[in-house]
Amino acid sequence: GQAVAVEQVILTGKLLDVRSGKYRENQALLVEQGRISAIVAAKDAPADVPVLDWSAYHVLPGLIDMHVHLTSDPNKHGYRALAETPAREAIYGVKAAEATLKAGFTTVRNLGAGGFSDVALRDAIDEGEIAGPRMRTAARTLCITGGHCDNNLLPHIYRANSGGVANGPDEIRAKVRENIKYGADVIKFTATGGVLSKNTDVNASQYNLEEMTALIEEAHDRGRIVAAHAHGLQGIKRAIQAGVDSIEHGSFIDDDAIALAKKHGTYLVMDVYVSDFILSEGEKAGILPESLEKEKKVGLIQRQNFQKAVKAGVKMAFGTDAGVYQHGLNARQFAYMVQWGMTPLQAIQAATLNAGTLLNWKNDQGQQNVGVAEVGAFADLIALKADPLQHIKQLEQPAAVVKAGLLVQ
């Protein structure tokens, strides 16, 4: 290939190797075309290129949130959401994207949006028009008629339903294909009812095994990973059996399902912070009374089951459901993950190495694009004033953020 000039050097005081959990002292990251092209001792860094001096900081790969909804406004829950258009949501997303990036999240997986507002947002970020994290986006969440992803707020005379509704293997395959046609990078479906949808039961399964298997085969054939929203046990198990890549929420997972997830290599993405927001501020935000009641039955058990799953050694990735609550507060979940059984390193790995691995997003040489500060990866990094392995809440206030080698201002 053609030789490309080093554009930038980033000097790091302590660079965390998220694989080993060890810091490497005084390294220099060389940046070419937005990627890390080499890592050398600081004293050997080329002298003739601009330097970003982070030698006073603890430096980590940029964080990844595997479950956000950048186009969702946390003040517009329940019936308030009915007044939103995809265009309005995309514009809201501009603000949410910037807040998320400034909080140190340089990549997000966006798990569901209406009218392809998320695709528009991703493209505006990729084209450099607006500031935001790299987005791997799902477009419309798939579900059954009346399911968690459907619009169940209005009576039949209004014929309201959401764009992701698909029933039976054939409709499901067509819907996956259509999502991909219009820009989806990943696929999301709901395998059980949810907390924030009207008239759905968190314990009731949505889609039968045949439907899930068709959905996942169709997505995998096209190189897309699949995320399943699942609170109830049967839906969790069924989605794992069908070959899903990650279980979102996972609230009522038990020992058997934990063993099944381990056997299949399925990741759990458990949003163990959001319950606090729903129960304290949800009513003001328009969340339906029936949803508040459901949350009271889910939140604590989910955290206890998270602890069980951590102990059992299931693969975990970091995901918050930001959009249900304020964008930019994503990192608050780290302290909860540590409180409920993870070491600080495990919590950091969930939001870096593991998330990047689950995304299965690679460069031409087969190297991981995100989640690691390694040669070949995008130069996405955060700087912290103190050691997050000692003080997990440091992650809530990065001193500086870099995306593609450029300082986020």
Judged by the rule CB under 6 A, the positions of this chain that interact with ligand ARG are: 194-196, 249, 271, 274-275, 295, 298-299, 302, 321, 324
d(CA 80, CA 92): 15
Output 211 or 271, the one with its CB closest to ligand ARG. 271
Q: Are strands 51-61 and 8-17 parallel, antiparallel or unpaired?
A: parallel
Query: SS3 helix, strand, coil % of the chain, rounded to 5?
Result: 35, 20, 40
Report, in Å, the least distance between residue 298 CB and ligand ARG.
4
CB of 249 or CB of 315, closer to ligand ARG: 249
State which residue, 171 or 290, has the beta carbon closest to ligand ARG.
290
In angstroms, what is the minimal distance from the CB of 365 to ligand ARG?
37
Contact predicate 409/66, CB 8 Å: no
Least Å distance, CB 96 to ligand ARG, is 16
Which CB atom, from 106 or from 305, has the smaller least distance to ligand ARG? 305
Return the closest-CA partner of residue 215 out of 192, 238, 242, 250: 242
Take residue 25 and report the two structure tokens written for it: 């002292």
Q: How far is the CB of 324 from ligand ARG (least distance, A)?
A: 6
Cβ distance to ligand ARG smaller for residue 131 or 153: 153
Measured distance CA(15)–CA(27) in Å, rounded: 7
CA distances from 334 to 10, 14, 101, 406 (A): 26, 20, 17, 25
Rounded to whole angstroms, the Cα distance separating 60 from 189 reads 32
Say if residues 79 and 99 touch (Cβ distance below 8 Å).
Answer: no
Alpha-carbon distance of 241 to 250, in angstroms, equals 14
* Residue closer to ligand ARG (CB basis): 148 or 403: 148
Shortest distance (Å) from residue 249 CB to ligand ARG: 5
CB 171 to ligand ARG: min, Å: 23
Q: Which is nearer to ligand ARG, 132 or 299 (CB)?
A: 299
b/e sequence 207-236, b meaning 16+ C-beta within 10 Å: beeebbbbbbbbbeeeebbbbbbbbbbebb
Amino acid letter at 164?
G
CB of 278 to ligand ARG, least distance (A): 6
Give the integer Cα–Cα distance in Å for 231 and 269. 11
Least distance from ligand ARG to the Cβ atom of residue 25, Å: 39
Distance, in Å, from the CA atom of 359 to the CA atom of 367, rounded to the nearest integer, reads 12
Q: Which is nearer to ligand ARG, 27 or 302 (CB)?
A: 302
Q: Beta strand pairing status for 8-17 and 22-32?
A: antiparallel
Measured from the CB atom, the residue of 60 and 342 that comes closer to ligand ARG is 342
Smallest distance from ligand ARG to CB 60, Å: 25
Q: How many CB atoms lie within 10 A of CB 280?
A: 10
**Which single residue brings its beta carbon nearest to ligand ARG?**
194
Instruction: Supply the minimum distance, in Å, between the C-beta of residue 295 and ligand ARG.
Output: 6
Half-sphere exposure of residue 167, counting CA atoms within 13 Å on the CB side?
A: 7
Q: Give the whole-angstrom CA distance, residue 316 versus residue 306.
A: 9
Contact 112, 164 (CB under 8 A): yes
In angstroms, what is the minimal distance from the CB of 203 to ligand ARG? 12
Q: Is the Cβ of residue 304 or residue 367 nearer to ligand ARG in the bound state?
A: 304
**Cβ proximity to ligand ARG, 309 vs 324, nearer residue:** 324
The dihedral region occupied by 28, where left means phi > 0, alpha psi between -120 and 50, and beta the remainder, is beta
